[in-house]
Amino acid sequence: MFVQIHTVILRYLQMELKSPFTTSFGTMKTRPALLVEVVDEDGVCGWGEGVAFSAPWYTEETIETTWHMLETFLIPLLFQAPVYHPDELRDRFSIVRRNYMAKAALEGAVWDAFAKRHGVSLSSALGGEKKEVKVGVSIGIQPITNILKRIEQALAEGYQRIKIKIKPEWDVNVVREIRHHFPDVPLMVDANSAYSLRDIDRLQALDDYELLMIEQPLAVDDIVDHAKLQAKLKTPICLDESICSYEDAKRAIELKSCRVINIKIGRVGGLTEAKRIHDLCQQHHIPVWCGGMLEGGVGRAHSIALATLPHFSLPGDTAASANYWERDFIDPEVTVDNGRIFVRQQIGIGYTVNLTEVERRTVRSKIYKKSRG
């Protein structure tokens, strides 16, 4: 049974965050989202979400470059032939260099349509086994009193891991203060590439606080210096931005650049590549977890499905919708029960896209049709 996509609809949404989110890069008050809807010849719809930001501070991609790559290259490639399995799209899209978030958005929509065509959940289509996934919460840079209150609230809600953002001069003292109030909480820090090897003493000082991991301390494209740093740290390094493909993960494992890998669907080019990295890490006993990109409901649903694969052993970043939005654009919204998300067993992503909420936030949209003949 194949999927023949004949229509693709792109929608650019502007989402307002409940509260500003600050990292070492800057502060966001709003979050753009690019929704991708595909429709096959029998009217089956699939949904994907582009997770690039408005500026290229996380990767080189932006929401505008994502739209351009989809419109000019990837949608025409999708229209060229039926899809017998979504895994085929990795090779079909390979003539386009990088642009992983654009590829992931379209591939994810096809995965959803494929699962619906086969009458199974996206989790099952991927080979997922878990009926629930453990989740943590990510807390941006803000006054320490606010961080402490947010941690207390998150723990009361049952979140199983706390992640805080750090940067030079906003690191050791903050972790020390958190440990003073919460000595046993599972805690990790995310540097978003804010450090270099010149900061090794500062990073070694974090070894005193029994952190789960330090996420991406060094440059976004580095695995060599991370290997040097990991050899001098007791705390595991987790790579994020450095891992954009199976090959990146393979090299990082061989060089011993990290002891943990964060898998984000958008960063690695889609669910197929995410599965390949998961399998590689499983073979090498490298723990993995599913990272977040402040996604809307569709992207969040894809991450939940991915996290049901067996080797996702650490709590991910897929917090409840209400953690970020007054109202998400899916029904029901993603909820967390005592630090767990129960995986919906309905076909496809398991959630319904609320078109009223989508249209309310849509800045622009465009429909693309496969030409006849």
Read off the pLDDT of residues 198-253 as tens digits, 9 standing for 90 and up: 999 999 999 999 999 999 999 999 999 999 999 999 999 999 999 999 999 999 99
337 belongs to an annotated ligand binding site: no
The CATH number that applies at residue 41 is: 3.30.390.10
Average pLDDT, the chain: 96
Kindly state whether residues 98 and 195 are assigned to the same domain.
Answer: no
Q: Give the pairing of strands 5-22 and 27-40.
A: antiparallel
Is 215 assigned a ligand-binding role in the annotation?
yes
Which active-site residues does the annotation give? 165, 264
* Whether residues 133 and 258 fall in one domain: yes
Is residue 144 scored above 70 in pLDDT? yes
Which amino acid is residue 101, in one-letter code?
M
The answer to whether residue 349 is domain-embedded is: no
Span 266-286, average pLDDT: 98
**How much is the pLDDT for 373?**
60
Domain presence at residue 350: no
d(CA 272, CA 265): 9
Same domain, 235 and 328: yes
Residue 131 lies in a domain: yes
Determine the pLDDT at residue 142. Answer: 93
- How large is the average pLDDT for residues 248-264? 98
Show the domain range for 220.
Answer: 125-342
**355: three-class secondary structure by DSSP:** helix
112 is in an annotated binding site: no
Does residue 173 share a domain with residue 287?
Answer: yes
Same domain membership, residue 272 and residue 218: yes
Q: What are phi and psi of 212, to 5 degrees?
A: -65, -40
Phi first, then psi, for residue 317 (nearest 5°) are -95, 10
- Same domain flag for 115 and 36: yes
Q: Indicate the pLDDT class of residue 29, thresholds 50, 70 and 90.
A: confident
17 burial (CB, 10 Å; 0-12 / 13-18 / 19+) is middle
- The confidence band for 24, taking pLDDT boundaries of 50, 70 and 90, is low
190 and 275 share one domain: yes
Asked if residue 347 is part of any domain, the answer here is no
Residue 260 lies in a domain: yes
**pLDDT tens digits, 234-247:** 999 999 999 999 99
Q: What is the domain count for the chain?
A: 2
* 348 belongs to a structural domain: no
pLDDT at 20: 80
- How far is Cα 22 from Cα 192, in angstroms, rounded to an integer? 11
Query: Which tokens is 244 given?
Result: 């954009």
Is position 284 within any domain? Answer: yes
- Residues 337, 219 within the same domain: yes
**Cis bond upstream, residue 287 (ω within 30):** no
Q: For position 319, what pLDDT does the model report?
A: 87
- 257: tokens are 């650049």
326 and 360 share one domain: no
CA distance from start to end of the chain: 21
Residue 132, helix vs strand vs coil: strand
> Could you tell me if 113 and 132 lie in one domain?
no
